[in-house]
Structure 1
Amino acid sequence: MSVGLTTARGHPSREQRLPTDLAAVDAAWLQGVLRHCYPGIAITAMEVVEIIQGHTTKVRVAVTGSDPAVLPGRLCLKSNWSGSPLSGEANVNEARFYKDLCEGLQLPAPHCFYADWDDDADGKQGLLVLEDMEGWDGKFGTSAEPITIDQAMRGVAALATLHASTWADPRLDAAGWLQRAMAPDHAGDDYWAMMADHYDKVNRLPERVAMFPAWFANDPQKLRDAWLQLCAHDMADTSPLCLVHGDAHLGNSYGLGDGGRLFLDWQIVRKGHPWRDYSYFAAGSITIADRRAGERDLLKHYLSVLAQHGIVIDFDTAWTEYRRWIVWGLVSWQSNINPKEATLPSLERFCVAAKDLKIDELYNV
């Protein structure tokens, strides 16, 4: 694993900046950047198969001329070609993750063939060249469509393996760019601070207020108070840190044909405590009825996989943290502005979980 401090470019030998305009992306350009990692590789033609717009743009391409033993004929290019500067930092963060932290990890993620970035006074831009997952025998997840308990068991096992394989790993601190989850000196996790006007609006919508826990419905500021308490609690927790995906919801996942699960969009990857991933995925990925019936068994399974890797956490401690971190789901789904991810189904799951698990008893609200 090659881990470095913050650098201005992923491949310092690259002279030209990464393009911010999709029109500049062609076979010659792709060949040029790939040669920083694969000297002599040839890309004689590139056909755009599909363009998927979002916070960042994903472009599925078919390429010819490359050695299939080195690079497949179908690839997915991902970069901030949306024209919005807001995705630049997250885009760079994901590129650094793939280039600096993936080697040797038991990572539930698609394979990345090339990662690069620009990060300097002239701007932030990241680039990933990933395997194209279309045509696989699995299914891309959507947050509105819950999975079964059995599928969730496989999902939390994948997260447990990620967490255990990076538990107290000194390489996390050595990666100077890797942010500490919930840190007060970085606003990247504090959606409320970044989107105050948005929260003021959505916290008043009748269809949302109707599902809120009473303490939140009566005073939306109390969720903000709970969030700040969660941040303070997490920063005071001296237990070991691990690598966390940071945004482990179903819409950022892919269900494999064999029942396993990969996680996509590592844009807010962090070093932190595992409950941020666990609680968000476990409570947000299954129906309310399945959660009520199976959430204790789900947590026991997660802990058993950790234990297989030598990480032992008692159930009562884990159960309290699982409950506490429901606040992350409430805040996150109140902030959702992605039109491709329906807000209300996931928000309802967390609102009902907050009531069932009486999370207000853990907070001064």
Structure 2
Amino acid sequence: MDLIQPQPTVESGLIPRPYPQRAELLPWTWQEVTAPWLTRTLQNKYPGIIAESLEVVQLIDSHTTKLRVRVGFNAVGKAAGFPDRLCLKSNWSGGFDDVDICAIEARFYHFLADEMKVPTATCRYADWDDDGRGQGLIILDDLEALGGQFGNSAQHAGVDAVYTALGGLAKLHGSLWDSPLIAQDAAPWLQTSMRTPVDSDQVRIMWRWILKNLEDPNFRAIAPKHYLEEPRRVEWAFDRLGDYERAFDAPYCVILGDCHQGNTYILPSGERLWLDWQLVRRGRPWRDLTYFMIGALTIEERRQNQRDMLAFYRKELIATGASGVIELDAIWEQYRRWVMYGIQAWVANMDHWGQIGLPMNERFFAAGEDHGTWALLLGE
């Protein structure tokens, strides 16, 4: 058993753990998830709870691991409302141990999830280590019990469903719009969009996968010629997007950060439940808005509806009580530039992570050419 050693906290950029009585480190392999381990872990929050049995239902490995389990709880667990199906999420994939995305997601569920005015997954336990390695853990109710379906990048949502999603996205961003709860001093754990290495260095972090996609003839067939001739253009343009965002002055809100259909769950009502808060940020909404819209619409749907959809989103955001929202023409200029966020994200996607990248690359490449995104950012 690896024991936690005392560590400095916020003063050194680390955040105190929510359950300081926990003496053992969180596991780094899913095989360590057993009924005795789950009992010890949950007892930090639920004294007397016992996991009497634990059966693995499904293992899903991508950037991080989702482990679906069936658990038999004692009377304390049942009284606390625990279902018998849970989903545990942590960094058990054997990679990505140089970023803090799992700790960030655990902090979101611990500190902010209850403040959001949109559906999020029910989280029974959120925790992280403060040893500087960025490990975190969340224990969620298994969403399949809700009777809906998981979103996927390859789904054809249709224009009406995207309008519905944009209404939900406006509520997400309006939940803590310009709120003191997300100010730096109140939430030192919440990183600011494009002011943290996981954002600003995303292209460099993911470069080896970008190179893999450049070897794929199907990818090369849809990529712009100027990008194929100089692949580093995506790095240079993304750096300029970061400069543009850091120089911008507007109210902050909470953004999902990785806002595509694959990070949603569609409830039977058609409303989206927003998932995967590993890149949650204090940011401006255009990152989420552009990424979701362009990824969820076909190229023709986007061309025919984008301006009206941006206007609809703005109206819905203001309806949440958000003040100081920029005008539609200014949103349009943000939208044209934030296309690059989607380009750099999908050129690094590996299909075996769970989301099919080729149609997304095609949509974002087309948007980049339609809106002159590369030239805008690179000053050409």
Question: For residue 343 of structure 1, what is the amino acid of its counterpart?
Answer: G
Q: Deviations over 1:282-325 (max 9, x none)?
A: 01112112112222222122111111022343211111211111
Question: For residue 67 of structure 1, what is the amino acid of its counterpart?
Answer: K
Q: Which range moves more in the overlay, 11-20 or 58-67?
A: 58-67
Alignment equivalent of 1:72, drawn from 72, 83, 90: 83
Q: Which range moves more in the overlay, 340-349 or 310-319?
A: 310-319
Question: For residue 49 of structure 2, what is the amino acid of its counterpart?
Answer: I
Tell me, in whole angstroms, the C-alpha distance in 2 between the residues paired with 1:90 and 1:187: 9
Tell me, in whole angstroms, the C-alpha distance in 1 between the residues paired with 2:312 and 2:104: 31
Give the Å deviation of 1:362: 2.6
Tell me, in whole angstroms, the C-alpha distance in 2 between the residues paired with 1:358 and 1:285: 20
Question: For residue 249 of structure 2, what is the amino acid of its counterpart?
Answer: T
Paired residues of 2:91 and 2:97 also in contact (CA < 8 A): no
Name the counterpart of 1:208: 219
Is 1:244 equivalent to 2:255 in the alignment? Answer: yes
Name the counterpart of 1:93: 104
Alignment equivalent of 1:259, drawn from 241, 256, 270: 270
Name the counterpart of 1:302: 313
Paired residues of 1:56 and 1:87 also in contact (CA < 8 A): no
Alignment equivalent of 1:181, drawn from 187, 193, 198: 193
Q: TM-score, normalised by structure 2?
A: 0.88
Identity among equivalent pairs (%) = 39
Give the Å deviation of 1:136: 2.6
Paired residues of 2:200 and 2:242 also in contact (CA < 8 A): no
Give the Å deviation of 1:197: 4.1
> 1:282-297 to 2 correspondence within 5 Å?
282-297=293-308
Question: For residue 147 of structure 2, what is the amino acid of its counterpart?
Answer: D
Q: 1:48 to 1:205 in 2, by over 3 A?
A: closer
Paired residues of 2:119 and 2:273 also in contact (CA < 8 A): yes
Paired residues of 1:80 and 1:88 also in contact (CA < 8 A): no
Give the Å deviation of 1:334: 0.6
Paired residues of 1:230 and 1:324 also in contact (CA < 8 A): yes
State the superposition RMSD in angstroms. Answer: 2.2
Q: Deviations over 1:123-172 (max 9, x none)?
A: 33211110101143211111122311111112222221111112122222
Q: 1:210 to 1:239 in 2, by over 3 A?
A: same
Name the counterpart of 2:366: 352
Q: Is the partner of 2:143 in helix, strand or coil? A: coil
For structure 1, the 5+ residue unaligned runs are none
For structure 2, the 5+ residue unaligned runs are 1-8
Tell me, in whole angstroms, the C-alpha distance in 1 between the residues paired with 2:47 and 2:343: 47
Paired residues of 1:88 and 1:126 also in contact (CA < 8 A): no
Tell me, in whole angstroms, the C-alpha distance in 1 between the residues paired with 2:215 and 2:64: 30
Tell me, in whole angstroms, the C-alpha distance in 2 between the residues paired with 1:344 and 1:51: 25
Q: Deviations over 1:108-131 (max 9, x none)?
A: 42111110111315x332111101
Q: 1:240 to 1:51 in 2, by over 3 A?
A: same
Alignment equivalent of 2:171, drawn from 161, 164, 174: 161
Is 1:332 equivalent to 2:345 in the alignment? Answer: yes
Q: How many residues align?
A: 360
Tell me, in whole angstroms, the C-alpha distance in 2 between the residues paired with 1:23 and 1:222: 42
Q: Deviations over 1:88-114 (max 9, x none)?
A: 621111111111222322144211111
Paired residues of 1:191 and 1:335 also in contact (CA < 8 A): no
Tell me, in whole angstroms, the C-alpha distance in 1 between the residues paired with 2:339 and 2:251: 21
Paired residues of 1:162 and 1:243 also in contact (CA < 8 A): yes
Question: For residue 231 of structure 2, what is the amino acid of its counterpart?
Answer: P
Q: 1:125 to 1:338 in 2, by over 3 A?
A: farther
